[in-house]
Structure formats: C-alpha cells, structure tokens
Amino acid sequence: LYSDAAGVHEGFAAVFGNDWFTGSWPPEIEPEHITVKELFPIVLAVEIWGKCLEN
C-alpha cells in the first residue's frame, strides 16, 4: 500500500497492487495540517481495501 498527499488544493492518492484512487480534498480537510492530510488516504485505503489487508 502506497499513499501520498499534497498541498492545499492538490489532493491525495493511494495504490494497492493494480488498484488505485485519487481525489481532491473535501472542504473540511483542506485547511488541515499536512500530517492530517497524509493520514487521510491511508484511512480511506483501509476502508476500501481492508478485507484484502486481513491475515
């Protein structure tokens, strides 16, 4: 699982195997510190691919 977050207006992305997603910041996340923004796509990825990450 790889993820990245960028700047105020850029957005986020994550890759898991051959699957991926990208997105723009929701208005409530846009003003947050980059640390919160780096966590956002990880949480989203776990929500999307969580079953694939189980033992």
Closest-CA residue to 24 (of 9, 35, 39, 42) = 9
Please give the Cα distance from 19 to 16 (Å, whole number). Answer: 5
Summarize pLDDT for 1-55 with one digit per residue, the tens: 999 999 878 999 999 999 999 999 999 999 999 999 999 999 999 999 999 998 8
Q: Where are the domains of the chain?
A: 2-53
pTM score, two decimals? 0.87
Give how far the C-alpha of residue 37 lies from the chain's centroid of Cα atoms, to the nearest Å: 8
How close are the terminal C-alpha atoms of the chain, in Å?
A: 15
Type of residue numbered 50: G
